[in-house]
Structure 1
Amino acid sequence: MPIGESPYTDPLSGLVFTSDSAHINTGKSGRVNKAFDKVNIKPYLVMRYFPEGLRNCYTLNVTRDATYFIGARFLYGNYDGLNTYPNFDLYLGPNRWETINLDGDKTGTWVDMIHVARSGSLELCLVKTGTTLPLISTIEIRPFRNDVYGPHPGSLSKTFRNFFNVSSIDIRYPHDKHDRIWTYMQDQDWRVINTTLSISNLGIYDTPEHVLATAATPLKGSSPLEIYWYPKSPTAAIYLYLHFAELQALQANETREFDIYINENSSYSAFSPPKFELRTLTFSPIQCPGGQCILRLVRTNKSTLPPLINAIEAFSIIQFPFAETNPSDVAVIKNIKETYRLTKISWQGDPCIPQDVTWEHLNCSYKDMSSPPRVTSLNLSSQGLTGSIVPSIQNLTQLQELDLSNNTLTGEVPKYLAKMKSLLVINLSNNKLRGSIPKALLDRQNDGLLLNYEGNPELCSISSCIKKEENKFLVPVGASVASVVVIIVIMLLIFMLRKKKESSDKQLTHSLPVEDGGDSYESEPSFLTKNRKFTYDEVTTMTNNFQRVLGEGGFGVVYHGILNGAEQIAVKVLSQSSAQGYKQFKAEVELLLRVHHINLVNLVGYCDEGQHLGLIYEYMPNGDLKQHLSGKWSGSVLSWKTRLIITVDAAQGLEYLHTGCKPAMVHRDVKSSNILLDENFQAKLADFGLSRSFPTANETYVSTVVAGTPGYLDPEYYQTNWLSEKSDVYSFGIVLLEIITNCPIIQHAREKTHIVEWVALMLQKGDIRNIIDPTLQQDYDSSSVWKALELAMSCVNPSSAKRPNMSRVVNDLKDCLKYEISRKGGSVDMDSKGSIEVSMNFGTEVIPKAR
């Protein structure tokens, strides 16, 4: 749609359509022939078609792990006057979603699916497969509840969605708030009944009342009601949803009862639809080995009325087997594209997948479908590159060949190229690079590196640079000796002053241990090594002027950032109103610069510039444990096994602080919101601003001002001000109770306000089932949960002496995990290799048939 006509509100549905210009840079606009105007709304009258390139992609921003309803509409409408209907492939990221065949289809085609986003962006790509040009009319994407049609082993592609009516009008938004399109269905052997009364719909499916208000029954009361359809593959996996509601006020002597058969197999016996209330029956997965699927509703002998059905939905599973290219590699390539303003039409979608439409000028390595491809070769020769060599290239850790020849690149040859161990070939010839080539890079030629740097007049190896400098020195014979002496004296003075400053800094660095205190800025020195120190301007740049907020805590606001053009980071900036001042900031930096463990969040660097204080961490894309337990992250439920793995990780991080650090460290603020999760759900402890170490290695207690989070705070520490590792154990026990119960730590409406007291009361009553998080739906090993509950209660013992140490906690949690992993049975394996590939037409869908 032209930008000048955007946004457009459809007067019938109220749907608002906007121009796609912000989401794609290729393609041209077209308009259907006027003969199609009367049968379509305005957004369907225009399309974008793609005369250039094999693959053209839309990039849409989404939330990772969130569920979306995605729909796309395609209408040819003889826009080009050729009357040649196109066909092409539709891709979602690196995976094919559907083949779009518009041959002879005058009303267009509509496809939709329910899909869980794997990353923060969604790429919808149209791929040319023949001589005709791909086109698209509309894209519709909206958040969708993730508990409606799940769980399932892949994305759900709609096969058909029908309701039963004699009207030829489809139902969609605003009657369906999710804008699912319900197509009417009728047959001469059916009778349609309806009601004007309200239908109760309190379930999760949000089936529109207009859909439920009508139903089909057989014309002959004794006959079964049959619906059949033909999947393309006999091994396809089908997920079926049947919606029932009784629409008639039955008399005392009337009964409606029927059996439900799927492919002649009895799936449900003596079913009676509830009066004026929705009941949805689900069947998954179904296979139709004979190539025909049959649904039969058969009246029982007891029933006086024939069967009925209000609506039916069928989905096929789409498996998206190909992993997207390594995210770090993709970030680097996109950074190169933006930095050098490359306008390559092939540089759309995933760089490496599918293999027949990979990006020009690069090659990739492929291990298997489920492993992310890696970029191994980058050839940007003769591409008009200007400026310096982008630092982000060093993040292509699998790069073997780099060709930047025949451009006008300036600046020095980066030292990091020598550290890229995978590089076998580097071609920097015919540019305008200057200075000397790093010795480490020249030395790698002895190990087989092919290095070409010819054609850079101002670039030299170390030996040739020395000769040039000697010549420069010998030519000006008349230079004054006195000026040389002055220069030497100045250099000596600078050297002496610098040594004096370094000595002063070292004295300040080895200061007393950090004590709890208020804010202090100018009175506090800058500290520790400066190789991880960033300026405030650098922090502003890496956060894109603090554009994207990840969260907020007592220290300040946490922002998303990009380092070196590719590495994602989290930047925590001290708020001016924060109660946690410079000393807490300094404590966290000092701790994280000297401790390293796989289950402690990694400190990338810090900013200490006047009033501007910031901590720069590795980015943890899956948020924190508390968000996942509360459902705020994506609404999905963490399995018991996943919860155990997370707690083992967090416990190992605490164990390292208590036993691996000399002297030992106490975290002092262990809570579920300080347990962060990376892309693989590996847990890492964060937020060390309140952490304390013991002055000497032999001390096991230290007196300190009480600090921590209410609810998690050790009561013994609160009463005595004596801190020990067992204070962390108590807080960790509270976290364990959280993951077991998924209940608030403090809840005044409860019989016992604090979670420890409430769990103890439930145990006394023998009410164990109500302790365990009901969203787990009893999908766990009871011994594993019971052992974890016992461990949690021992951790929160009022007496610190009776609490286990973290080494014991780690071992016990690993035992819990073993029980869970080794348990037999469990949930039904719903994985299926099949899929139904049915092309659905908008308005004239390939719908199931009645019999």
Structure 2
Amino acid sequence: MRVKALIDIEFPEFPTDKVYIYLHFAEVEVLRANETREFNISLNGVSINDSYGPLYLQFETMHNQSPVTCENRNCIIKLTRTGKSTHPPLLNAVEGFAVADFRQYETDANDVTAIKNIGTAYGLSIISWQGDPCVPRGFLWDGLNCSDTEGSTPPRITSLNLSSRGLTGTIETGIQKLTHLENLDLSNNSLTGVIPEFLASMKSLLIINLTKNNLNISIPQALRNREKEGLKLIVDGDEINQCLPGSCVQKMKFPVMIAAFVASAVVVGIVLVLFFIFVLKRKKTSSHVEALGEGGFGVVYHGYLNGSQPLAVKVLSESSSQGYKHFKAEVELLLRVHHINLVNLVGYCDERDHLALIYEYMCNGDLKDHLSGLEYLHIGCQPSMVHRDVKCTNILLGEQFSGKIADFGLSRSFQLGDESHVSTVVAGTPGYLDPEYYRTGRLAEISDVYSFGIVLLEIITSQRVIDQTREKPHITEWMGFMLNRGDITRIMDPKLHGDFNSRSVWRAIELAMLCANPSSEKRPNMSQVVIELKECLASANTINSKNQDANSNSSFEMSMSFDTKAVPSAR
């Protein structure tokens, strides 16, 4: 009589689920020479292995090659003893896995091949690098970011971060096959050799971080040209001014201060001419002078260069709470820092009591009247810059409503090597001021992140930062209070009239609250903020395009509570 072992597993959550069953075997008894353990294995009547004999203390696994559907949610595993077996069947362990039917496209095949080859070339052993690199989003490979996985085309790898992975050798040529790569971080490794010219041919690349390696930092001319187009190349040493596009030039043989003085003198001369032209034009058309606004520095006027190029001229007023120190700080920063999301300084006037800053004109005013340069200040500049006064009125909007950060009078740079903060006198705008910085006087890049979080909350809610008529005056306290009540519709800007995608909005709110966390350790950095905002936007655009947002204005419950108690008061 043959012995059968029947194992009935109620595994799938739904009757139509397809499953893989993994069976684990190992002989645990010492069998004599005339003893055997041998059996046939089947799943739902389909043979998996015949005449199988487990090995002594050696682990073996078997599974069905194709997924099966278990009738009435029951999967039947049958172990049947063969005629020559002297011992009954055994099974040490069993696992079942339901097949996840993803509607998303798999990652582009060329990107999959490229990233696997990169991993092999560098001998990487990263646990998460299994399966599809981008899909599902919850199992994204460590160090990668991808384009929209919910779109109508296969996702592409857009970010590769192999920082501190112990890489050796040269920069792998296979990287150039990731044709949609925007951000490449190979910092803090032991890479050697030259910086390859093929990086310049990767047209999607926006940021390359090669710091803390053993590379020869002679920069190919093609990469220098790409810097002029906005590429941020970050390397070690003083040979490159990492704030200036196309600034990979050799050191001058005469002192930098002399060069700066000569350059400044030329600029001042040109700007004085421009300023006098502006003043003369203003005198001739005094009845048509247009004041764009007024801040702590003074009044901002609308003017023109050569009668065609619109300009914004900020003139220091006698009653200004600021002065020459802030004027000098802003000029010095904007003369060497250039980015698409930072307002451009056209020139300045520094003559006796006449101080003026001349900017490009932003036709749509500031953000408060109607957001990505911070990331560049924090990681693209050497030394890093902290704005210290990020707020809606300091973010100006161009013709296509592209945001540019302005007003750098309070900005500070870090020149302390690897130090993550600098002690300084507290400055900034009440309501936007990082409570940790306010309390300790320790300024860090993450202080700007707090202020940016407040700006995001303003955009989402159209609420004032501080409103004493509210039950919770500060916007973070009010937001936490409203969220814990679970009604998102009362949070959103009423001008939207309920026309928003709740899923994307919730992600944006969660990001804003993380940025505005009173504890700096719990805040993301600006690179993470930019990535998350891009994903929010991509997700919202995809859903809108497919008209799948049927419940966009519905309420939903949340069980999160937000820590918003530490808000600095006005000084």
Radius of gyration: which is bigger? 1
Normalized per residue, which structure has more strand? 1
Higher RCO, 1 or 2 (CA under 8 Å, sep at least 6)? 1
Normalized per residue, which structure has more helix? 2
